[in-house]
Structure 1
Amino acid sequence: MMYRTSRKFCKSLFPTKFLAGSSLAARSFSTVARRNDRFKLPNGINNNGSSEFEGTLARTDSTVQVEHPSESDLPTSEPVKGRGGFHHKRTLPSFSLEGKVGVVTGGARGLGLVMSQSLIISGGDLAIVDLDKQEAERQAVELLATFKRENSAEVRLPKITAYHVDVADSASVETAVAEIINSHGKIDSLVTSAGFCENFEAITYPVDRLKKLWDVNVNGTYFFATAVARHLISRKAQGNMVFIGSMSGSVVNVPQPQAPYNASKAAVRHLAASFTVEWAAASIRVNCISPGYMVTELTKRILDKNPDLRKQWTALVPQGRLGKPEDLMGSVAFLLSEASQYVTGADLRVDGRYTLT
């Protein structure tokens, strides 16, 4: 029996988007599944795109061009307004954080600062929590100044506040949460980015440093999450939390020795899963983002002094490059917004495919 596929141009709200390789195109999963069910490759036909058959990889003839829909083909709708300006009308309104108050621990530096920027760009108000009070206050001023500079016509400015908090101290956390609620009126979302990593061999790891690492990475996440959860439950309000884990919570990175750090990030990932089950009835979603190697200012200084380590790390990343902190902005905005309202307990790995090899 001969099987044939036919191609038709169709006006769709979701235009074909070409990915890596001239012949690989993105389609909706449902479309791919239907095609795979209907068109099975006969024996002897390969999947390299050279035949007239379409296989399970959904390869598309590179000569076929699907036109981007014109404005007249799109449904009429107003652009989505966020504090970063007007989003393109093809952006789902559910990605906006307008009217939401977010808290970012460790939000004045490194990956936490990028999370803070993402919340502001997506339309939210922000409470920056950091152990470095001066840096938190400086970044709050800088973020607002940047927003004014890039959105000169915006009438309503985001409210950005800064707080000095030791996340490893439950009393300090409780005080900060109360101050944030007093200033902003509420808390809707939480990003726990406070954490650190040290490299010691397991048999010589200083006990005091081991306890400090666990207090900050694990207990700090626990203290802040439970404090915010109590507030949300008392308000009978929906809430979203994102814990910043690490690919090190799933794999053992080499060559650096960091067993306690790896264990702490595995604990953070499982805390997210445990909390989201426990708080499901309260409509509190908890997800985890596990970044791969991200070139923060601190990491860059380390790698600049050790080019061989940079080469080794890069060689282990299938995508061929180390991550940029900005690679995380879309992920955190997605998980904090209504666009991910049915996503909970997930571990989103942003690692350039590192953990797949």
Structure 2
Amino acid sequence: MTLPSFRLDQQTALVTGAASGIGRAIAAGLARSGANVACFDLPGPGLDEACKEIEAAGGRALPISGDVTDAASLTAAVEQTRSTLGPLTLAVNSAGIANASPAEEMTREQWQRVLDINVTGLFLSCQAEGRAMLDHGRGAIVNIASMSGTIVNRGLLQAHYNASKAAVIHLTRSLAMEWCRRGVRVNSISPGYTATPMNTRPEVADQVRQFEADTPLGRMATVDEMVGPAVFLLSEAAAFCTGVDLLVDGGFTCW
């Protein structure tokens, strides 16, 4: 028996939210696994820095500035990726935001902004990527959801965020079922508490200690610990996986 390959050699990937946090770590990880990677995010120094990490890992990189709520810029990004790096076969959608507010005080604008980016932006990303992959009958997409789409975090007032991530999980399953007979797999990863820049600010240190105490493994994840699950779900090793939501939460949802 030949072991399945976890490599992504000679494939082209597009990663949204690639300038920081989980998206940036995954973008570099895909390059280490052999892929060439287009990095899509809002303009800023993080985008160029992410591309430098990809090139240091031996991959070709393409920075693309844009907003995931703009369908036209996503369509253009997919075309730019194809013309520069080759046909799009892999995608990771990591762009998202989080903030907090008691539900009874939350403004419509705050609610809508989170849903616009986390759900509509992710749908538009999948739509643009999926069209390109369906055209040549091959592709794999990984969406970054959250364990907050499965559980409600104690002490965090984020009804809008929780609802958005639950939507990401079910949207992933829906797209997986629409596209499964046409060569495109769609899965999601639901991270637990992860040491992103948002969660390592000094002002949330007390909250972080509680996050770690509540996690069976006794710590937060590093962003690099999301790379392996993403590479697996994109690779041929996961050829029979579609519609899966992979919880990477240090055991949190077991309690």
1:313 and 2:225 equivalent? no
Residue in 2 that maps onto 1:252: 152
TM-aligned CA deviation for residue 283 of structure 1: 1.3
1:54-203 to 2 correspondence within 5 Å? 92=3, 94-144=5-55, 146-147=56-57, 157-203=58-104
TM-aligned CA deviation for residue 93 of structure 1: 5.5
Q: Which amino acid aligns with 1:324?
A: T
Tell me the matched-pair count: 255
CA distance in 2, matches of 1:219, 1:299: 24
TM-aligned CA deviation for residue 206 of structure 1: 2.2
1:348 and 2:242 equivalent? no
Deviation track 1:33-55 (CA, whole Å, cap 9, x = no partner) reads xxxxxxxxxxxxxxxxxxxxxxx
Runs ≥4 residues deviating over 4 A: none
Q: 2:193 aligns with which of 293, 299, 308?
A: 293
5+ unaligned residues in a row in structure 1: which ranges?
1-74, 78-91, 148-156
CA distance in 2, matches of 1:179, 1:335: 24
Contact map agreement 1:95 1:339 (CA 8 A) in 2 = yes
5+ unaligned residues in a row in structure 2: which ranges?
none
CA distance in 2, matches of 1:119, 1:316: 31
**TM-score normalised to the size of structure 2?**
0.95
Percent identity over the alignment?
36
Larger radius of gyration: 1
- Of 175-184 and 219-228, deviating more is 175-184
TM-aligned CA deviation for residue 263 of structure 1: 0.3
Q: Which amino acid aligns with 1:209?
A: Q
Q: Which amino acid aligns with 2:213?
A: A
CA distance in 1, matches of 2:146, 2:165: 6
CA distance in 2, matches of 1:205, 1:178: 38
Q: Which amino acid aligns with 1:350?
A: V
TM-aligned CA deviation for residue 134 of structure 1: 3.6
Q: 1:273 aligns with which of 166, 173, 182?
A: 173
Q: CA RMSD in A?
A: 1.5
Contact map agreement 2:27 2:50 (CA 8 A) in 1 = no
Q: Which amino acid aligns with 1:296?
A: T
Contact map agreement 2:37 2:54 (CA 8 A) in 1 = no
Deviation track 1:5-27 (CA, whole Å, cap 9, x = no partner) reads xxxxxxxxxxxxxxxxxxxxxxx
More helix by share: 2
Q: Secondary structure at the match of 2:91?
A: strand
CA distance in 1, matches of 2:50, 2:134: 30
TM-aligned CA deviation for residue 184 of structure 1: 1.6
CA distance in 2, matches of 1:130, 1:245: 17
The structure whose RCO (Cα within 8 Å, separation 6+) is larger is 2
1:26-45 to 2 correspondence within 5 Å? none
Contact map agreement 1:133 1:162 (CA 8 A) in 2 = no
CA distance in 1, matches of 2:200, 2:215: 17
**TM-score normalised to the size of structure 1?**
0.69
TM-aligned CA deviation for residue 309 of structure 1: 1.4
Contact map agreement 1:97 1:124 (CA 8 A) in 2 = yes
